Structure 1
Amino acid sequence: MAHARITRIDVSAALALPGVFLAWTGTDVLPHCEGLVGEFAVPGCNATTMPLLATGEVVYVGEPVAVVVAESRYAAEDAAELIEWDFEELPVVVSADAALAGGDVANSQLPDNIGITGGATYGDVELAFEQADQVVSGRYYTGRVSAAPMETRGVIASYEWASGQLRVWSGSQMPHFVRYCLTAYLGFPEQCVEVIAPDTGGGFGQKAHVYVEEMLLPLLSRELDRPVKWVEDRRENLMAGTHAHEQYVDIAYALDDTGRITAVRTDALGDGGAYHAPPWSMAVEPWCAVVMTPTGIYDVPAAEYSYTAVATNKTPIGAYRGVGYMAGTLARECLADDAARALGMSPFDFRRSNVVREFPWTNPQNIVYDEGSWLETIDALEEMVDYTAFLQRQAELRLQGRYLGLGLSCFVESSGESTATSKEHGLGDVYHDTATVRMDPNGTATVTVGLTAQGQGLATTMGQMAADTLGIRVEDITVRMATSTSQAYGSGTVGSRGAVIASGAVARAGGIIREKVRAVAAHMLEASENDIELADGTASVAGAPDAKVAIADVAAAIYFDMTAWPEGFDPTLEATLAYDTARPMFSNGGHAMIVELDPDTGFVRFEKVFSVEDCGTVINPNVVEGQIRGGVVQGIGAAVFEELSYDASGQLLSTTFLDYGLPTMDVAPPFEIRHLETPSAHTASGVKGMGESGLIAAPAAVLNAVNDALTPFGAVLRELPLTPEKVFSAMNGSSAGEAS
Structure 2
Amino acid sequence: MTTPVIAARSVGTRVLRSEDPRLLSGRGEFIADINLPGQLHVAFVRSPVAHARIIHMDLSAIRDADGVALAWSGQDVAPLCEGLVGEMAVEGCFPTTMPLLAKDEVLYVGEPIAVVVADSRYAAEDACELIDWDFEELPAVTNADAALAGGPVANPQLSDNLGLKGGASFGNVSEAFEQADQVVQGRFYTCRVSAAPMETRGVIADYEWASKGLRLWSNTQMPHYLKYMLTAYLGFPEQGVEVITPDTGGGFGQKAHVYPEEMLLPLLAREVGRPVKWIEDRRENLIAGAHAHEQFVDIAYALDADGKITGVRTDALGDGGAYHMPPWSMAVEPWCAVVMTPTGIYDIPAAEYTYSAVATNKTPVGAYRGVGYMAGTLARECLADDAARALGMSPFEFRRHNVVRDFPWTNAQDIVYQEGSWLETINVLEKMVDYPAFLQRQSELREQGRYIGLGLSVFVESSGESTATSQEHGLGDVYHDTATVRLNPNGTANVTIGLSAQGQGLATTMAQMAADTLGINVEHVSVQTARSTSHAYGSGTIGSRGAVVAGGAVARAADVVREKVRLVAANMLEASVDDIQLTDGLASVKGVADASVSIADVATSIYFDTSSWPEDFEPSLEATQAYDPAQAMFSNGGHAILVELDPETGFVRFEKVYSVEDCGTVINPNIVEGQIRGGVLQGIGASVFEELAYDESGQILTTTFLDYGLPTMDVAPPFEIHHLETPSSHSASGVKGMGESGLIAAPAAVLNAVNDALTPFNVVLRDLPLTPQRVLKAMSGELSTAQQEATSTQGETGHA
* TM bracket, shorter-chain basis: over 0.9
Partner of 2:370: 322
Identical aligned residues as a percent:
78
After superposition, give the CA deviation of every residue in 1:562-621 in whole Å (9 maximum; x if it has no partner).
000000000011110100001000000000000000000100000000000000000000
Which SS does the other structure have where 1:129 is aligned? helix
How far is the alpha carbon of 1:481 from its aligned partner?
1.1
Partner of 2:437: 389
Kept after mapping to 2: 8 A contact 1:410/1:697: yes
In 2, Cα distance between the equivalents of 1:307 and 1:227? 44
Quick check: 1:21 aligned with 2:69? yes
Which SS does the other structure have where 2:715 is aligned? coil
- Alignment counterpart, residue 149 of structure 1, candidates 187, 197, 200: 197
In 2, Cα distance between the equivalents of 1:88 and 1:739? 45
Which SS does the other structure have where 1:365 is aligned? coil
1:428-577 alignment to 2 at 5 Å?
A: 428-577=476-625
After superposition, give the CA deviation of every residue in 1:112-150 in whole Å (9 maximum; x if it has no partner).
000011000001101110100000000000000000000
How far is the alpha carbon of 1:486 from its aligned partner?
3.2
Kept after mapping to 2: 8 A contact 1:37/1:48: yes
Kept after mapping to 2: 8 A contact 1:194/1:483: no
How far is the alpha carbon of 1:739 from its aligned partner?
4.8
Which SS does the other structure have where 1:396 is aligned? helix
Partner of 2:15: none
Corresponding residue pairs, total: 740
How far is the alpha carbon of 1:186 from its aligned partner?
0.1
Partner of 2:794: none
- Alignment counterpart, residue 214 of structure 1, candidates 249, 252, 262: 262
In 2, Cα distance between the equivalents of 1:318 and 1:43? 18
After superposition, give the CA deviation of every residue in 1:712-733 in whole Å (9 maximum; x if it has no partner).
0001000000000000000000
How far is the alpha carbon of 1:555 from its aligned partner?
0.6
Partner of 1:227: 275
Quick check: 1:6 aligned with 2:54? yes
Partner of 1:637: 685
In 2, Cα distance between the equivalents of 1:43 and 1:714? 41
Quick check: 1:158 aligned with 2:217? no
Quick check: 1:311 aligned with 2:356? no
- Alignment counterpart, residue 670 of structure 1, candidates 697, 711, 718: 718
Which SS does the other structure have where 2:714 is aligned? coil
Quick check: 1:714 aligned with 2:759? no
How far is the alpha carbon of 1:286 from its aligned partner?
0.3
- Alignment counterpart, residue 374 of structure 1, candidates 422, 440, 450: 422
| Structure 2 unmatched ranges of 5 or more | 1-48, 791-800
Which SS does the other structure have where 1:544 is aligned? coil
| Structure 1 unmatched ranges of 5 or more | none
Kept after mapping to 1: 8 A contact 2:463/2:635: yes
After superposition, give the CA deviation of every residue in 1:464-499 in whole Å (9 maximum; x if it has no partner).
000011011111111011144333100000000000
1:250-399 alignment to 2 at 5 Å?
A: 250-399=298-447
How far is the alpha carbon of 1:163 from its aligned partner?
1.4
How far is the alpha carbon of 1:544 from its aligned partner?
1.1
Partner of 2:140: 92
Which SS does the other structure have where 2:595 is aligned? strand
How far is the alpha carbon of 1:735 from its aligned partner?
1.9
Partner of 1:591: 639
In 1, Cα distance between the equivalents of 2:131 and 2:587? 70
Aligned residue identity for 2:441: R
- Alignment counterpart, residue 170 of structure 1, candidates 193, 206, 218: 218
Aligned residue identity for 1:308: S
Quick check: 1:140 aligned with 2:188? yes
Kept after mapping to 2: 8 A contact 1:179/1:484: no
How far is the alpha carbon of 1:559 from its aligned partner?
0.5
In 2, Cα distance between the equivalents of 1:500 and 1:663? 30
After superposition, give the CA deviation of every residue in 1:154-201 in whole Å (9 maximum; x if it has no partner).
000000111111000000000000000000000001100000111200
Partner of 1:738: 788
Higher mean C-alpha displacement, 130-139 vs 544-553? 544-553
How far is the alpha carbon of 1:653 from its aligned partner?
0.2
Aligned residue identity for 1:47: P
After superposition, give the CA deviation of every residue in 1:359-397 in whole Å (9 maximum; x if it has no partner).
000000000000000000000000000000000000000
Aligned residue identity for 2:539: S
How far is the alpha carbon of 1:536 from its aligned partner?
1.3
In 2, Cα distance between the equivalents of 1:182 and 1:739? 52
In 1, Cα distance between the equivalents of 2:776 and 2:534? 56
Which SS does the other structure have where 2:769 is aligned? coil
Aligned residue identity for 1:425: H
Kept after mapping to 2: 8 A contact 1:200/1:453: yes
Which SS does the other structure have where 2:425 is aligned? helix
- Alignment counterpart, residue 727 of structure 1, candidates 775, 782, 797: 775
In 2, Cα distance between the equivalents of 1:226 and 1:517? 49
In 2, Cα distance between the equivalents of 1:245 and 1:397? 35
In 1, Cα distance between the equivalents of 2:522 and 2:566? 19
- Alignment counterpart, residue 657 of structure 2, candidates 609, 621, 624: 609
In 1, Cα distance between the equivalents of 2:789 and 2:700? 27
Kept after mapping to 2: 8 A contact 1:418/1:432: yes
Partner of 2:234: 186
After superposition, give the CA deviation of every residue in 1:280-328 in whole Å (9 maximum; x if it has no partner).
0011110000000000000000000000000000000000000000000
Partner of 2:670: 622
Structure of greater relative contact order (alpha carbons < 8 Å, 6+ residues apart): 2
Kept after mapping to 2: 8 A contact 1:718/1:739: no
Quick check: 1:682 aligned with 2:730? yes
How far is the alpha carbon of 1:440 from its aligned partner?
1.0
In 2, Cα distance between the equivalents of 1:556 and 1:255? 68
Which SS does the other structure have where 1:637 is aligned? helix
Kept after mapping to 1: 8 A contact 2:328/2:367: yes
Which SS does the other structure have where 1:628 is aligned? helix
Quick check: 1:47 aligned with 2:47? no
Partner of 1:703: 751
After superposition, give the CA deviation of every residue in 1:226-261 in whole Å (9 maximum; x if it has no partner).
100000100000000000011000000000011000
Kept after mapping to 1: 8 A contact 2:85/2:95: yes
- Alignment counterpart, residue 151 of structure 2, candidates 87, 95, 103: 103
In 1, Cα distance between the equivalents of 2:89 and 2:789? 36
TM superposition outliers: structure 1 runs of 4+ over 4 Å? none
Q: TM-score, normalising length from structure 2?
A: 0.92
Which SS does the other structure have where 1:576 is aligned? strand
In 1, Cα distance between the equivalents of 2:315 and 2:614? 64
- Alignment counterpart, residue 459 of structure 2, candidates 401, 405, 411: 411
How far is the alpha carbon of 1:44 from its aligned partner?
0.9
Aligned residue identity for 2:632: P
In 2, Cα distance between the equivalents of 1:343 and 1:575? 59
Kept after mapping to 2: 8 A contact 1:487/1:576: no
Partner of 1:124: 172
Kept after mapping to 1: 8 A contact 2:292/2:367: yes
Kept after mapping to 1: 8 A contact 2:242/2:534: no
In 1, Cα distance between the equivalents of 2:177 and 2:420? 29
Aligned residue identity for 1:155: V
